[in-house]
Structure 1
Amino acid sequence: MALGSSPDQPQPLGRVIMATKDWVGRLGEIWVDAQVVEIKRRNAPTQFLTFRDRVADMSAQVTVSAMVLDAAGPLPEGSRVTARIRPRMWERNSSLTFECLELQVAGEGRLLAQLEQLKRKLQAEGLFDPARKRRLPVLPRVIGLVTGKNSDAERDVVTTIAGRWPAAQIRTRHALVQGPNSAESVMTALAALDGDPEVEVIILARGGGALEDLLSFSDEGLVRAVAAARTPVVTAIGHERDSPIVDLVADLRASTPTDAGKRVVPDHAAESAALADARTRLRRAVGVRIAEAQRHLDQLRSRPVLVDPTSAFAAHFDRLSLLRHRLDAAIERRLRDEESHVRSAVSSIRALSPKRTLERGYAVLVDDAHRSVCGVADTAPGARIHAYLADGSLDLDVVATTPEGDQ
């Protein structure tokens, strides 16, 4: 019931606020359709959202428990939601908020949430690990293509590959790329090309479209088939902004079908130009190397030792001549010294020679046994002795012996 009041009998503000809170609390719960324009996450049990009407320019502050928010799945800002809420008024500052008791992502947002849950599941299994991705062949001879029949994607891939590398062969398997059975159709075509031993790389191509149109390329079965393929797989689904789950397990993601053709084969004209440039640079490098070697050879040939190999011996010849001269001089000096020494020795020998003594009038006496007779005691009367003089010898008979004291 309404509170009575007058200028003389006003109601306390707190009573009015509490009465308003009581009235708001009796409004009960209601399901609303809204758009989430802001999410304020924090490390606490209660989280804060901002809901906005999808048509009118009106918004409201909403509190939600972390458990309810997490149960709704991935919820990016801008998502359309269906929420069960009830109004609440905080008496301290009289602010009006809504408490969210249940939250569901609606429309495309629900679809995105389901895809995000599938992504998390596959990521936990390691299917998105970069280490699993294989390198594409440098120059594939046979290229497999899975695409819709007579589609723009098929034309873009074929035209691009033919223009860049005409020698490449394309083996196309047409499949449904949209609709209930499209994922199974793409898997069948992929298996056929993957089983072909001549196919070196496979392209999955489809033009752009709405999220629902590309759902088959986020099918779990198709994603697992691409991950298990023996042949490297390149995906070219939609446009740059499109990102189906199959892109995450493919060995290479191309932004468009045309980009896929560019990624799979090199440009013949560019490669030819690069090859010609490489040949030119190689010839130039070889020419420079030969010129450097020729200059080095010319420098070696211009050195005196190579111009006249015997010139290196000239100094040695001069030194040899000097040594020979010094040796001759040394030998001559030695011979002179030795000659002088010999002459001195000869003079000394001659001075001491018995012959010189004999020439001075002395004689050498020996008996018949050629023993020296040095004194009278060495002989006796009647003995024969021989006297050797300077110019001959005498045979003498000893008549008598006279000792030196008896003379």
Structure 2
Amino acid sequence: MNDVLTVGELTSHISLLLREDDLLADVTVTGEISNAVLAKSGHFYFSLKDADASISCVMWRSNVRTLFEIPREGESVIAHGRVDLYRPRGQLQLVVDAMRPAGGLGDLYKRFEEIKARLLAEGLFDAERKRPLPLFPRRIGVVTSATGAALRDILRVLAQRWPLADVLLAPSLVQGAQAPAALQATLRALYRRDDIDVIILARGGGSIEDLWAFNDEGVARLVAEAPVPVVSGVGHETDFTIVDFVADVRAPTPSAAAAAVSPDSDAIRQELMSLSARLTAAMLTRIERARMMVERDHSRLERLSPQYRLDQRRLMVDELDRRLALAMENMLDQRRVALDGLYQRLLALNPNAVVARGYAIVRDEAGHIVQSVQQVTPDQPLDVQVSDGHFPVVVLG
């Protein structure tokens, strides 16, 4: 018995088999469009059917943009792509990468491709010739119908995003047999002015016939000759015209064209506030550094000035005078202490001081102090000194 597969494993295996099949990986199918839905994401979902069967199809947005126009319900087409499995539903689908009408190329489509190929060969679509849009346009030229919804959308977006710009409306026919000549005349009139910074060339959506004026070769060549950048905003996101390839910038809608040429004033205001705060902080920092440098230089100049040196010498003299006076005072104190010690010693050696303590000094007739009995004889007169005077004595024996 074979291994039991999960549903996911089974669908993965089927998907792998489909991708490895050379026929199914590169298949061209013809059928009739049904259940067509152009999603907001830009992807195109539909079915291809004939009398015998039907298959679900999807065309991703990147490939939808290459279509000349979106096929309508019931239209027969020839689609190229690969067969794959939509695993969440276990459903086969055709992933379409190219599609064209089944009845062959129509006259308008042929003319479109011829003009496109010719201008492409001349280099009018080259990225190198595309010019950058001005960052802050002062005057914006708008070429469109004066009564169409495209103009209202453009003016609304410009008023919201960049009300500082002047808008110069150059009204023109944008549909019909006379529209190409009208567009060329309007563009030439704008080109003669020297106060236009950028031009918007726009109209609302419509069929290929409605938009054909913007596929006119004369209009496309004149757009390529514009002295200022041109932004095309013709039709809807899935509509492409020759003018879109020639213009400096292609916008999917008129509103998007207005947004492309106008900076966001709110964002600029926030940026200016941020830059102002940063500039203020930087200036305050520079001012503080300059103040510190000035103070440092001022301090250096003060130290180098004659007055500063004189003041320093005066301070030094005052300090030496103070130290000298202190040294003299210390020396005098030391001398006083020494003299006081000598004085006390002299007092201790003074005979009068001894007498004052109750002793007596005996002298002979010559005034010599008698220090021993050997120095006297009987009947010798002596003089006795006491604390309060003298009196005579005689040695008795």
Q: What TM-score does the superposition give when structure 1 sets the normalisation length?
A: 0.49
Q: Which has the higher contact order (CA 8 A, sep 6+)?
A: 2
